[in-house]
Amino acid sequence: MLRAKPNQQNIAGPKSRAPAPFIFPSCETKKLSTTTRAFVVKGVQYGGSVPYTQDATSALSSRLSLLRRFSVETPAVSDQMSLIKQLRERTSAPIKDVKAALIDCNWNIEAAQTELRKRGKVLALKKSSRTAAEGLLALAQNETKAVVIELNCETDFVARNEIFQYLALSLARQALLSESSSHNVSGTFPVGLEQLEGMKLNLEHPKISGETTALNAVTEVAGIMGENIKLRRGFLMSASSSGVISTYLHTSPQPGLGRIAGILSLEVEGGSSQSDALQRVGSEIAMHIVAAKPLFLTKELVSSEALKNEREILQTQAETSGKSGMALEKMVEGRLRKYMEEVVLMEQKFIVNDSINIKTLLENLSKEVGSPVKIGNFLRVGVGEGIERLDTSDSSEPVAQAA
């Protein structure tokens, strides 16, 4: 140990005084073993002056704690790699972040995991302004209700991650449980974002577990994934007690998830909704809704404004043909009927059998089940609708309508 040299002028007697040494007059490191290194610092800051004799060191030590020791346990390299691997498996955080957290927490894996979660929340906040137009729809349903939620991320790479998918399914299932006691009338209803974010979740995934709110869970996963992740919206569809909910998910990585959802309620008048034919045809119509993109359920529900705008467009197009009078009017009416067949669900050709339309399909189904069957509501939702991005091929708004 290095020691401060005594001032020879002050050894003569106890009355001689000199200023105390600098705060840390001596310092050394000593390697004690392959896993432990001790750091020893001697010194103190002392405002006055003390007699400096050969016993000055021990005197100051007893009065002012001259000696301070710091020791840091550093695991062997093999143990370090094991801890990094364990924490990586627990959190899915990047290896560089895992190692940094372990070093900062003196290789305490529990403390490092907590630290990573804190850093993840900060990272999620920094990325929250970035565009998140990718992601998945998650759907949960029972016999008379269905809930679909949209969880967005920045890239389809994250959308394929099993943590992201687990979170999306958990959100949809909890939303269905939360909404089961509400909206006892048939219809399609938006689920408020504040209501969605405040839902209580009990997660049981190896990397995200415990009781939390939906908003906190989304923030935590955003930190793990390193992307902006947002719970964007949700919808509930409810059928009557004599109805049934049918659904279809397009581009589905696993049951309950997809990029486009088609949902409808089939209402059976005076009959049983427990029919294989009803379930089969309902699923086919849900798939048709995804593919055909209807805007309205029936011709009667087409708004007068939409009809007026379409008629004006068709009129302008027909005038370029050089026709006039009755011929021009017939051309406009013919094109207007074709427009109806394109946007009205009941008038569209059935994609499974284009020799009939949806109206005829329901008439045939009614005969098969022995009771009149009609579509109560329908909904089509796609990931990223209405979000400005480079690829705007499917940027339309969700379509929902009731009879």
- pLDDT averaged over 10-residue windows placed end to end, the chain, 403 residues: 48 48 46 42 41 44 39 68 80 78 82 73 66 95 94 96 97 92 81 94 89 92 90 95 94 96 93 82 97 95 88 82 77 88 96 96 94 95 86 58 61
Packed helices 162-179 and 214-225: angle between N→C axes, nearest 10 degrees: 170
Give me the pLDDT at residue 390, please. Answer: 56
Which residues share a beta bridge with 377? Answer: 265, 402
The two tokens of residue 252 are 């589905």
Give me the pLDDT at residue 327, please. Answer: 80
The two tokens of residue 207 are 């990397």
The two tokens of residue 144 are 């008379």
pTM: 0.70
Length, in residues, of the chain? 403
Give every CB contact of residue 301 below 8 A, 6+ residues apart in sequence.
344, 401, 403
Domains and CATH numbers, the chain: 8-73 (no CATH), 77-127 (1.10.8.10), 134-302+344-402 (3.30.479.20)
Give me the pLDDT at residue 122, please. Answer: 54
Give me the pLDDT at residue 331, please. Answer: 85
CB 337 within 8 A of CB 307: no
Q: How far apart are the first and last CA of the chain?
A: 91
